[in-house]
Chains A and B, each alone.
Chain A
Amino acid sequence: MWRKDSAESSDRFEYLQTLVTEFQDTDSEEAKEQVLANLANFAYDPKNMDYLKELQVTDLFLDMLTEENENFVEFGMGGLCNLSMDPECRDIILQSSGISLVTNLLSSRREETVLSAITILMNLTKPSSRSEITDPAILQCMLRFSLSESPRLRNLAAVFLQDYCTEEQVAQAEQQMKGQQTAVGIPLPEDSS
């Protein structure tokens, strides 16, 4: 059993490497899920980030986003959520069309996946990616989330709208949403705003 009392970081690297190898070699879905969750949890500690980068675990997580198995998706997203605050990992994700992959998952029925998606989008925001991340479609989604029954979803969406968008962008998205509703032929009451 691997014990953590050694101070040698190479032990930690080897352990992570073994995990990645198991993930790639095993046929068992269950084992894959466990390893994936394991790696995602290791990604929470910045001490491990160098090793995970070396092992290209960011790509491994990104690969999970298009899997059918919802656990794979959820754990992969959790891993990315943990890694994406690191600037290098953020850039890797951006370069791999991360924004669209993550945005697709805003419609997931797994709440953890959606929460990770919102957080990742926030983490991916930098001057070069801002316009893509504040696309009206995404803002409308966040507006809907901000009315959700789930407090966590509401809060994250609120932080996104308040801290990552301008008031104009939010107002515009709101207008568009109203426009869509009236287009169905059901006018909104005058005082609905």
Chain B
Amino acid sequence: MAAPVSNSSGCWGVPEVYKHHEQRKVCISRPKYREGRNAKAVKVYTINLESRYLMVQGVPAIGVMTELIQLCALYGAVEEYRPLDEYPAEEFTEVYLVKFQKLTSARAAKRRMDEKSFYGGVLHVCYVPEYETVEDTRLKLQDRRRYILRAVHNKAKEKEQKETAEKEPTMSSSDTATTSERIVMRHDKASDDDNTGEASNVSKHPSFPPLPLPPREYNYYGHKTQHGTVSTEDKMGTLHNAIIVTKQQPAPSSSSSQTSSDGHKGAKHRLTSKPSVVRFVPRSTNLENRKRKMDEAAGHSLDRCY
């Protein structure tokens, strides 16, 4: 259950203003061909800069902490959060530390919430890896390695399958074979968004095929990030309509959720997408959710999941 944390463990100690928290000036000199839709600063993202911990600045000091955390929870389960009173903040704003259960959630939340307006203020969201414990860092690196190796493994398998298919006599021209080899991975836009994060400086808002909007409590991570832009921005100023959470569903182990969230990456085979994050879900809507899930599972092919 996500709850405000009392300042007990070392990682929740007094923060310092680190250079990587600062917004860099946006780069204005890019040639057109590599100008993204959004102006971006020149910055390289590595696993060391990303983190499950996010810092959110610019939150209007009007008592909207709950709304902020609900907004964050759209992108994935929030494990812990607290205000960072000791961090320098602009007048009439607050700063919050938010710890997500998964790095991919933090990544999505950062991308979607950064520079967005929120109750009259503008949020600045950044990773704060300095709040990690040694174990956090270790797990982060291990998860990343596992993810890469799985992607490599899947690619190798795909190549093998293609080569086997090509050997069959029913295969047509060699031209097809050549081009099909080049097309190693299908471009999964949602997964690009989720997992490249800042990795692509090009076009950050791909157009998605129209999908019926699932309810916001819906667990499918990919769906969330797709319609997240829509419902999030709709809800930003009107979060008083959001359902206040009283209960969370238990999440499966992190390795399986990792599998279901990252295993789609470009791989042809589909893993069943299960609800993989702990969610703020009020008791009263659980029945409705189950019903919707059944309906939607029948309707969707879940091809937009990350």
Residues of A within 8 A of B (CB): 1-10, 12-13, 15, 18-19, 22, 30-31, 33-35, 37-38, 40-47, 49-50, 74-75, 78-79, 81-82, 85-87, 111-112, 115-116, 119, 122-123, 150-152, 154-156, 158-159, 162-163
Could you tell me the distance between the alpha carbons of A151 and B9 in the complex, rounded to whole angstroms?
Answer: 14
Chain B residue numbers with a CB within 8 Å of A37 are: 42-44, 201
Contact B202 A9 (CB under 8 A): no
Give, as a whole number of angstroms, the nearest-CB distance from A154 to chain B. 8
Give, as a whole number of angstroms, the nearest-CB distance from B192 to chain A. 7
Chain A residue numbers with a CB within 8 Å of B201 are: 37-38, 41
Contact A119 B35 (CB under 8 A): no
Given A4-B200, A47-B265, are A119 and B195 also a contact pair (CB < 8 Å)?
Answer: no
Given A38-B201, A155-B134, A158-B134, are A4 and B44 also a contact pair (CB < 8 Å)?
Answer: no
Chain B residue numbers with a CB within 8 Å of A46 are: 147-148, 151-152, 155, 265-266
Given A4-B206, A79-B44, A86-B152, are A34 and B141 also a contact pair (CB < 8 Å)?
Answer: no
Contact A119 B46 (CB under 8 A): yes
Interface residues of B in 185-217 (CB under 8 A from A): 185-187, 189, 192, 195-203, 206-207
Give, as a whole number of angstroms, the nearest-CB distance from B306 to chain A. 12
Contact A81 B47 (CB under 8 A): yes
Chain A residue numbers with a CB within 8 Å of B144 are: 85
Q: How many residues of B contact A (CB 8 A)?
A: 58
Give, as a whole number of angstroms, the nearest-CB distance from B253 to chain A. 21
Closest B residue by C-beta to A158:
B134
Could you tell me the distance between the alpha carbons of A75 and B43 in the complex, rounded to whole angstroms?
Answer: 8
Contact B44 A74 (CB under 8 A): yes
Q: Is B236 an interface residue (CB 8 A)?
A: no
Chain B residue numbers with a CB within 8 Å of A19 are: 34
Closest A residue by C-beta to B184:
A50
Closest A residue by C-beta to B19:
A111
Chain A residue numbers with a CB within 8 Å of B11 are: 151
Chain B residue numbers with a CB within 8 Å of A162 are: 134, 138
Closest A residue by C-beta to B179:
A10
Contact B31 A151 (CB under 8 A): no
Q: Is B81 an interface residue (CB 8 A)?
A: no
Contact B152 A41 (CB under 8 A): no
Could you tell me the distance between the alpha carbons of A4 and B38 in the complex, rounded to whole angstroms?
Answer: 14
Give, as a whole number of angstroms, the nearest-CB distance from B300 to chain A. 19
Name 10 extra pairs, CB < 8 A, besides A44-B46, A116-B46, A152-B129. Answer: A7-B187, A37-B201, A41-B196, A43-B199, A47-B151, A47-B266, A85-B148, A112-B20, A152-B48, A152-B132
Give, as a whole number of angstroms, the nearest-CB distance from A126 to chain B. 13
Give, as a whole number of angstroms, the nearest-CB distance from B188 to chain A. 8
Closest B residue by C-beta to A119:
B48
Give, as a whole number of angstroms, the nearest-CB distance from A19 to chain B. 7
B21-44 contact mask (Cβ, 8 Å, vs A): 1 or 0: 000000101111111000000111
Chain A residue numbers with a CB within 8 Å of B145 are: 85, 123
Max chain B Cβ within 10 angstroms of own Cβ: one of A13, A47, A79, A115 = A47
Contact B184 A4 (CB under 8 A): no
Could you tell me the distance between the alpha carbons of A111 and B35 in the complex, rounded to whole angstroms?
Answer: 28
Could you tell me the distance between the alpha carbons of A119 and B141 in the complex, rounded to whole angstroms?
Answer: 9
Given A45-B195, A122-B141, are A81 and B30 also a contact pair (CB < 8 Å)?
Answer: no
Chain A residue numbers with a CB within 8 Å of B134 are: 154-155, 158-159, 162
Chain A residue numbers with a CB within 8 Å of B195 are: 45
Max chain B Cβ within 10 angstroms of own Cβ: one of A3, A41, A119 = A41
Contact A116 B48 (CB under 8 A): yes
Give, as a whole number of angstroms, the nearest-CB distance from A27 to chain B. 14
Chain A residue numbers with a CB within 8 Å of B29 are: 30-31, 34
Could you tell me the distance between the alpha carbons of A149 and B53 in the complex, rounded to whole angstroms?
Answer: 19
Could you tell me the distance between the alpha carbons of A1 and B202 in the complex, rounded to whole angstroms?
Answer: 9
The residue from B130, B137, B185 contacting A47, defined by CB atoms under 8 A apart: B185
Give, as a whole number of angstroms, the nearest-CB distance from A161 to chain B. 10
Closest A residue by C-beta to B182:
A10
Chain B residue numbers with a CB within 8 Å of A116 are: 46, 48
Interface residues of B in 249-299 (CB under 8 A from A): 265-266
Contact B189 A78 (CB under 8 A): no
Q: Is B62 an interface residue (CB 8 A)?
A: no
Shortest Cβ-Cβ A-B pairs, 5 listed: A78-B44, A46-B151, A44-B199, A155-B137, A151-B130
